[in-house]
Structure 1
Amino acid sequence: DDTLLCTSFLNLRLEQTLPPVVERQLREIESVVRRLLELAMRLGHTFIITNAMSGWVEYSSAKWVPDLLPVLQKVRVISARTSYEPQFPGEVGQWKIQAFLEVQRQLDSEIVTNLISLGDSNFEMDAVHVMGREFSQALVKTIKFRENPSPEELLKQLELVSQKFERIVDNAKNLKVGLERKWAGGAQRG
């Protein structure tokens, strides 16, 4: 998953020793993600819905950002792939939609609902809008992260969202934010 950890970047370097600068960025990502998840849990129901196999979020956290594990244990992690690939083979977007609807069924659909989706693919953005239609009144807020980010890019995105998260929650309107531009500084990747 490339929303809370730069997994694509790290998977290309499994056999390598990470440079000290990347190790430092991972510690910073770990800290920012921990604070963001704790804030999200304090402000409302919080879920991680991934297209990775069941257990991948916990495995990658243990490998790259182990201090995040205690916080992750407090968040329900749903593998859309594991739960819905058998019914919808090859339909990645449908896995996410079904997983979001699974969460929706656990919530009170009659109260005004603030749905906030952070993700690096359009699948999350589409799924949260489908979910929003199941509530009598829902504010849908999407924050689209860059796909395949470097550690530096992900850290900047996470820091920005963390700084603005309470304002995003408190905003009484639907919201669409794209953080997809390339960041200045550091090595640029295609």
Structure 2
Amino acid sequence: MSDTFQEQLKQARRNLIIDAAIEVISEQGFQRTTIKQIASKAGIADGTIYNYFKSKDDILLGIIARLSEDETQDLSLAKTERLDFAAFVAMFVSPRMDEIDGRYQTLKVVFPEMITNAALSRPIYDQIYTPLFVMVETYFQQLMDAEQIDMADPALLARLFASPFMGLMMLRMLGDEHVAANWEGYKNAMSQFLQKAFEK
């Protein structure tokens, strides 16, 4: 059996475990979930999980890595360098809102631990948010250099730009029925809001 095929099998088994963990944790929370429950949902023996993950925390880091991979595939500096602000907003908003909607169960698993688990909060931030902020800060710096916006702190602007997404996601997690039922409407309104808020 080739090394490539072995690696594909290993990755497939890791994905199976991650999928099972997302399902179980989203139903009952991270702290109440056991390795045994994840293994049962995945249809494998308890001990098999330890061939792929060292602990339950390590499984959560695997979930985070999956989110991070999806994020970095969507965004790149090359995509943003030639965009005007309206096009940048359009490129940024729709994928982010679609990702929150499509990966809502995964995000429900990750974010409570980001807030309550100090050992995991930094890895979550570094893998998901740091690459995003680097990209947005770089783009805002380009706008500043071209004198297209007045503010002088790209790090501040990047976080202000991202904060409405966090707010809507938290409202949805807290059970805001209007946000959940009108996600497409919020997506459209978000583009208009950001463009007007940041235009010169």
Higher RCO (CA < 8 A, seq sep 6+)? 1
User: More helix per residue: 1 or 2?
Assistant: 2
User: More strand per residue: 1 or 2?
Assistant: 1
TM-score, scaled to structure 2: 0.32
TM-score, scaled to structure 1: 0.33
